[in-house]
Chains A and B, each alone.
Chain A
Amino acid sequence: MRNSVKEIKTKFSTQGDFFIEEESYDKMSCYLIGFKTLIDLPKTKLYIQQMGESCTSKSALLGKLSEETNVNTEQLIKGILEGKLVIVTKDGKENAIVDPIVQNLNSSIGEPKNESPVHSSTDAFVEDINTNVGMLRKRLNTDRLCHCTYQVGELDKRRLSMLYINGKAPNDLVNKIHHQLNQIDSDIETIDDLNKRFEKRRLSPVSHFSATELPIQAIHSLKKNRIVLFMDNYPFALVFPNLILDMFSTENDRNFPFILTFMLRFFRVIGAVATVIFPALYVALVSVNPGIFRTDLALFVAKSREGIPLSAFLETIAMVVLVDLILEAIVRLPKSVGPAITMVGGIILGQAVVEANLVSNLLVIVITAVVIASSAVIGMQNSLYIRLLKYPILVLASLFGILGVFIGFIFTIIYLASLTSDDIPYLTLRFEHKGDTK
């Protein structure tokens, strides 16, 4: 059995942070094996020593330290990779996989970075999957909360968790997802990798999941019969299925009186529609159907565009792309430089472009309104895909005017209506399929 230590040694010989330390306690001498980067060694040693003082024999100590004793080499290697401490006695006859005192690699529970809830508790999910599930359990004290875990992937076994409330989430859906998750045979690195495992949606901007950072929102989704997935080392809860209402409503709104909730949601809908339609409407009204304006308005618009060399479509697409670039640039830049770009991009560029008579000042107003409106919807990915949807409508509008705007809008609606995730349509307003308690 000594050769197991050797085998492990050769296996990890290329790893710089791998250690084999010989240690002798009063009752035994043994090898401690593991990764320095994952294990807090001094503390762990102290811990083993303390445990050893109260034990009488070797095997009693090992049994006390761990439940996995005397396993084969493969399991030892696996244990090392998972960040466990492996103890092998010097004679190699006995071994154990011990849960060590770990190096703290996870960020502590902090405030949400991507969402900023008003009037709400401000803790957010963290990298560690167990902490995340724990956060949910703490808030949802029921035995009906079910938790299934999976380890998937080829190279790296990634841990996935599926949570649902028994009796709320539809059973067939749970079974289906269970099946789909078990079938995963390649590595899951991003949400998109996971997305591809579900119903095929090539070229679709709409994901099967809506990601949320807030435990409250995740719990709300669970209560609303949905399923929540967690990926290890990913500080978001993935709510399945993603529905269009996630874009407009969050549970937080309900901390206000109903009428204010309604107002907030109504504004979000307006924001989404305005983002999609406004640039297109500008092009349609200015270059194809000016007849629709009232006379005073038509003359005003004509005056504001006087002397502008670009066609309405060109100036609009240029400005829309520019604004989307600015938005992206702000995200990329470090926080200290971001405001500077906002200044340069937003104020100076906008001013210069109007003063140079390249773009009509009416368009600048429209574009600004669109940027603000597109940020009103909930969730970054929703905001992004809304911003994407405006381009096809813009192109249609430049060809067919108002007709193009409306046909583009209808086309978008039909497209969204055609989306389903596991036979649940994206446009479902209320997810009411109740499962039975097993």
Chain B
Amino acid sequence: MTHRIQVGMLFIIMHLSFSYLIYPDLIYRLTKTSHWEVILCQGLMQLILLWIYYKGLNYFPDKNVIEIYLKIGKWAAIIFLTPYVINLIAIVGFNLRLHAEVINDVFLPRTPYWSILILLFFISVYTAIKGLDTILRSSVIIFFIVIPLIFFNIFSSFTNFDLHSVSPVWDSPLKFLFNIKYFYLMGFSSFLILGFISSGANSNFCQIFAVFVSVVLFSLSAVYIPLFIFGQETVTTLAYPFLEAINSVDISWFIFNRQTMVFGISLVGLVILANAVLLWMSGHIMQKTYKWKTMEAAYWIILLSVIAFVVALVVPHQSLVEKFFLWSTGAQTYFMIIIPSFIFLYGSLSKGGLVGYDKK
């Protein structure tokens, strides 16, 4: 029971970590009027994939994705999971770089971004090495620190709302579905983690659904807060709309002046945990797939994080980082489609999975 709650909190934290920087921007570029359509559409499609994934995993009780692939054969694990690890590393690298620059802007405008990058990497790697249990436990506490801060941000931004800035009309032709950016957008999720936590799939689908709905609500708030404050035309000219929206809030009774600090703090909490999970996943995959001389997962994590760090460091400027980040989320979309459907197919073909499993 407690484990499920922890997984749910981790799930929310991981999704939130994706939804504040590039996500609103991408949506504003996809459509000009009814943004909620895009968000709901994306949520629905992710939910369908999640359902397939869930069904597929249910064929193999108490097994995680790596074990399922290893059951098919080592080749399958290598072919399917190695590219996924590369993708994860890219996401970790670009995600941390992006966040490092934003955190840099918010807290320490004169400090070079790499020092913050080192700091974030250090904490993420440390957390990843400590293992999943530590991540889950700390996610509860970080959840209870970060979520009130986010709510504080959301409610304090109400003071600047101009309800007329947004037109809620239904924009019927779903043109955005065929936009490549929508494909990128689909990658802003990390539900694949559920398959790597052995008890993640054991949870009831209703619970997953409830958690997912709250994630969609948070995404809506991330998109609509800047929209209500600035309006569509202004929002597209800003680099980080959500940040600017929070920055515009001025609460006179609060002793501290800058709401962005509050936002920055919550962002730090989210990004550390999310990237720790991604690093842990990749280290875990590598360790189980390639059993090289009993190389510990910790070594893999350190090795992969060094690669990610170098990748994050060498990209020369920010627009390129954003572009690469979008590419890597696009690749993630690909894995989000491939892995669940493959497991689902394999599970249903091996006669409900259990039979095949028993024979082995």
Asked whether A289 lies within 8 Å of B261 as measured between CB atoms, the reply is yes
Chain A hits for B123, CB < 8 A: 407, 410-411, 414
Asked whether B138 lies within 8 Å of A425 as measured between CB atoms, the reply is no
Bound CA–CA A289/B133 (angstroms): 34
| B134 close to chain A: CB less than 8 A | yes
| B16 close to chain A: CB less than 8 A | no
With both chains docked as a complex, state the minimum distance between the C-beta of A278 and any C-beta of chain B, in angstroms: 14
Q: Which residue of A lies closest to B104 (CB)?
A: A403
Bound CA–CA A420/B126 (angstroms): 16
With both chains docked as a complex, state the minimum distance between the C-beta of A400 and any C-beta of chain B, in angstroms: 7
| A385 close to chain B: CB less than 8 A | no
Q: Mark A417-434, 1 if CB is under 8 A from B, else 0.
A: 110100001010000000
Q: Mark A267-306, 1 if CB is under 8 A from B, else 0.
A: 0000000000000000000001101111101000000000
| 12 residue pairs bridging A and B, Cβ less than 8 Å apart | A288-B108, A289-B107, A291-B257, A402-B261, A403-B116, A406-B269, A407-B268, A407-B272, A411-B123, A414-B138, A417-B130, A427-B137
Asked whether A403 lies within 8 Å of B107 as measured between CB atoms, the reply is yes
With both chains docked as a complex, state the minimum distance between the C-beta of B345 and any C-beta of chain A, in angstroms: 37
Bound CA–CA A418/B138 (angstroms): 8
Q: Mark B111-127, 1 if CB is under 8 A from A, else 0.
A: 10000100100010011
| A401 close to chain B: CB less than 8 A | yes
| B206 close to chain A: CB less than 8 A | no
| A413 close to chain B: CB less than 8 A | yes
Quick one: which of B103, B134, B265 contacts A418, CB cutoff 8 A?
Answer: B134
By Cβ-Cβ distance, the 5 closest A-B pairs, closest first, are: A417-B137, A417-B138, A418-B134, A418-B130, A403-B107
Chain B interface size, as a band, is 20 to 34
Q: Which residue of A lies closest to B264 (CB)?
A: A403
With both chains docked as a complex, state the minimum distance between the C-beta of B241 and any C-beta of chain A, in angstroms: 21
Bound CA–CA A403/B111 (angstroms): 12
Asked whether A410 lies within 8 Å of B142 as measured between CB atoms, the reply is yes
With both chains docked as a complex, state the minimum distance between the C-beta of B250 and any C-beta of chain A, in angstroms: 10
Asked whether B108 lies within 8 Å of A400 as measured between CB atoms, the reply is yes
Chain B hits for A417, CB < 8 A: 130, 134, 137-138, 141
A414 with B107, Cβ < 8 A, contacts A406-B268, A407-B119 known = no
With both chains docked as a complex, state the minimum distance between the C-beta of B202 and any C-beta of chain A, in angstroms: 19
Chain B hits for A293, CB < 8 A: 255-257
| B258 close to chain A: CB less than 8 A | yes
Quick one: which of B108, B127, B138 contacts A401, CB cutoff 8 A?
Answer: B108
Since A289-B261, A407-B272, A417-B130 are in contact, a sample of 20 more A-B pairs with Cβ atoms closer than 8 Å, ordered by chain A residue number, is A288-B108, A292-B257, A292-B261, A293-B256, A293-B257, A294-B254, A297-B255, A400-B107, A400-B116, A403-B116, A403-B264, A410-B269, A413-B141, A417-B134, A417-B137, A417-B138, A418-B130, A418-B134, A425-B133, A427-B141
Asked whether B126 lies within 8 Å of A414 as measured between CB atoms, the reply is yes
Chain A hits for B268, CB < 8 A: 403, 406-407, 410
With both chains docked as a complex, state the minimum distance between the C-beta of B353 and any C-beta of chain A, in angstroms: 30
Asked whether B103 lies within 8 Å of A403 as measured between CB atoms, the reply is yes
Bound CA–CA A295/B254 (angstroms): 12
Chain A hits for B116, CB < 8 A: 400, 403
Bound CA–CA A356/B255 (angstroms): 29
Bound CA–CA A434/B290 (angstroms): 39
- Secondary structure of the B contact surface, majority rule: helix
- Secondary structure of the A contact surface, majority rule: helix
Q: Mark B246-275, 1 if CB is under 8 A from A, else 0.
A: 000000001111100100110011001000
With both chains docked as a complex, state the minimum distance between the C-beta of A115 and any C-beta of chain B, in angstroms: 27
Asked whether A292 lies within 8 Å of B137 as measured between CB atoms, the reply is no
Q: Which residue of A lies closest to B272 (CB)?
A: A410
Bound CA–CA A11/B147 (angstroms): 72
Bound CA–CA A289/B119 (angstroms): 18
Bound CA–CA A183/B108 (angstroms): 54
Q: Which residue of A lies closest to B131 (CB)?
A: A418
Chain B hits for A413, CB < 8 A: 138, 141-142
Chain B hits for A411, CB < 8 A: 123, 126
Most B CB atoms within 10 A — which of A289, A407, A414? A414
Bound CA–CA A414/B124 (angstroms): 10
Bound CA–CA A427/B130 (angstroms): 14
Asked whether B257 lies within 8 Å of A406 as measured between CB atoms, the reply is no
Asked whether B137 lies within 8 Å of A295 as measured between CB atoms, the reply is no
Q: Which residues of A382-396 are within 8 A (CB) of B?
A: none
Chain A hits for B133, CB < 8 A: 420, 425
Asked whether B257 lies within 8 Å of A414 as measured between CB atoms, the reply is no
Chain B hits for A420, CB < 8 A: 133
Bound CA–CA A289/B264 (angstroms): 13
With both chains docked as a complex, state the minimum distance between the C-beta of A31 and any C-beta of chain B, in angstroms: 63
Bound CA–CA A418/B142 (angstroms): 14
Chain A hits for B108, CB < 8 A: 288-289, 400-401, 403
Bound CA–CA A173/B319 (angstroms): 55
Chain B hits for A297, CB < 8 A: 255
Bound CA–CA A219/B192 (angstroms): 46
Chain A hits for B134, CB < 8 A: 414, 417-418
Bound CA–CA A403/B131 (angstroms): 24
Chain B hits for A425, CB < 8 A: 133, 137
Bound CA–CA A420/B133 (angstroms): 10
Chain A hits for B138, CB < 8 A: 410, 413-414, 417, 427
With both chains docked as a complex, state the minimum distance between the C-beta of B322 and any C-beta of chain A, in angstroms: 22
With both chains docked as a complex, state the minimum distance between the C-beta of B187 and any C-beta of chain A, in angstroms: 26
With both chains docked as a complex, state the minimum distance between the C-beta of B98 and any C-beta of chain A, in angstroms: 16
Q: Mark B41-58, 1 if CB is under 8 A from A, else 0.
A: 000000000000000000
Chain B hits for A400, CB < 8 A: 107-108, 111, 116, 119
With both chains docked as a complex, state the minimum distance between the C-beta of A184 and any C-beta of chain B, in angstroms: 28
Asked whether B119 lies within 8 Å of A294 as measured between CB atoms, the reply is no
Bound CA–CA A411/B134 (angstroms): 12
Chain A hits for B261, CB < 8 A: 289, 292, 402
With both chains docked as a complex, state the minimum distance between the C-beta of B235 and any C-beta of chain A, in angstroms: 25
Bound CA–CA A425/B133 (angstroms): 9
Chain A hits for B119, CB < 8 A: 400, 403, 407
Chain A hits for B142, CB < 8 A: 410, 413
Bound CA–CA A410/B130 (angstroms): 14
With both chains docked as a complex, state the minimum distance between the C-beta of A428 and any C-beta of chain B, in angstroms: 8
With both chains docked as a complex, state the minimum distance between the C-beta of B277 and any C-beta of chain A, in angstroms: 12
Bound CA–CA A288/B257 (angstroms): 15
With both chains docked as a complex, state the minimum distance between the C-beta of B258 and any C-beta of chain A, in angstroms: 5
